[in-house]
Amino acid sequence: MKLDTIRSDFPILKRKVNDHSLIWLDNAATTQKPHCVIESLSRYYKENNSNVHRGAHTLAKEATEEYEAARKKIQKFIGASSPEEVVFVRGTTEAINLVANTYGNLTIGRGDEILLTQMEHHSNIVPWQMLCKYKGARIIPIPINKKGDIILEEYEKLFTPRTRMVSITQVSNVLGTINPVKQMINIAHSHGVSVLVDGAQGAPHLGVNVQDLDADFYTLSGHKAYGPTGIGILYGKKALLENMIPWQGGGGMIKDVDFDRTVYLELPYKFEAGTGNIADAVGLGAAIDYLEGIGMYNIEHHEQELTRYATEALSSINGLHIIGNAPHKTSVMSFIIEGIDPSKMAGLLDQEGIAVRAGHHCAQPVLKYFGVDSTLRASIGIYNTHKDIDALVQGLLKHINQ
């Protein structure tokens, strides 16, 4: 991987923040955008902008082709067997809400159980909780250990005849743990239970193949994968999506409407009511081309090496404790420093152009498990370097010693 070339693809990395060069270590919150993504948005609006699927004119045809080409790129990127299995949504949050409100609504009833890991993001807890409240079902947490690994033997024991759904993150946005999702899916399937994999932190960092994983549903957020905000995807196995009743109704998802009945369109359009986020889908397609140009294998290798380097460097700081020490982890370092308020430290680092996040990272249950209510989090992307980590460590040391 030519890091200098990659860095020069990201215009924002040239800007100064508080008179310092920007060091972006908040990639788990969102990633920066390369030229090609920014240009694709501008080109789409300058040359092709139209609504899709409807008009009979040239621009409608072009916009439709661009939108569907982006869908095919995503299909290939995640290894889905057909573009029909790729539904455009706003992001992971909307994807999980869609599944809870359609598949969940169809299959989960009073007394049923949904298994979620203890390290889930709120967007993979709250939609299920809302469904449980409505249906009289309940959530059962899958326990983790103090390293931040799922306890697989405990997971296996949680299955009962009432288990209807498992929903798990591929990579934790707090701990960085890479979960053994393939194995977990296999176990769930042996009990006849479907699995949703939250890939918000997985897809940007690991090569993903949903067919190899045998995931029933898989989600990703474009903005965490160097694409625009407001666009993401829900992957679902065709047989499951076909049996699900649409969640939102409106234009763009129907074949025929009368006042007493509606015939829906085929997949994936029956889940895409209203005008979609066409330009940002095109932008996500450009981001995927960009990632594939670098190669997910190279990205994975670079980020895991940098994660090891950062873990070692941070661990050498007196009074600093890393939360999440799973042997198989990537890209995220959460930590606390004795006697120091995380948000105060994030503010001090910002004065030096270093962007890290402080807070609960929308995953309060896992922070409670580790006995804290806030951490500092440095998270790595494709453009980060050893120098970025050195600057972070220097910045921390300077303020700890003040």
Binding site for ligand PMP (CB under 6 A): 28, 91-93, 121, 123-124, 169, 173, 198, 200-201, 221, 362
Judged by beta carbon, residue 37 or residue 391, the one nearer ligand PMP is 37
Cα Rg, the chain, nearest whole Å: 22
Minimal distance in Å, beta carbon 224 to ligand PMP? 6
Judged by beta carbon, residue 199 or residue 395, the one nearer ligand PMP is 199
Q: Confirm if 302 and 382 have CB atoms less than 8 A apart.
A: yes
Minimal distance in Å, beta carbon 219 to ligand PMP? 8
Judged by beta carbon, residue 137 or residue 234, the one nearer ligand PMP is 234
Minimal distance in Å, beta carbon 54 to ligand PMP? 28
> Residue 38 carries which side chain, given as an amino acid letter?
I
Minimal distance in Å, beta carbon 256 to ligand PMP? 33
362 is catalytic: yes
- Which residue, 280, 240, 223, is CA-closest to 99? 240
Judged by beta carbon, residue 20 or residue 207, the one nearer ligand PMP is 207
Q: Phi-psi bin for 139: left (phi > 0), alpha (psi -120 to 50), beta?
A: beta
Minimal distance in Å, beta carbon 120 to ligand PMP? 7
Q: Confirm if 63 and 46 have CB atoms less than 8 A apart.
A: no
From 362, 372, 397, 400, active-site residue: 362
Q: Confirm if 185 and 213 have CB atoms less than 8 A apart.
A: yes
Judged by beta carbon, residue 198 or residue 352, the one nearer ligand PMP is 198
Report, as residue numbers or ranges, the catalytic residues. Answer: 362
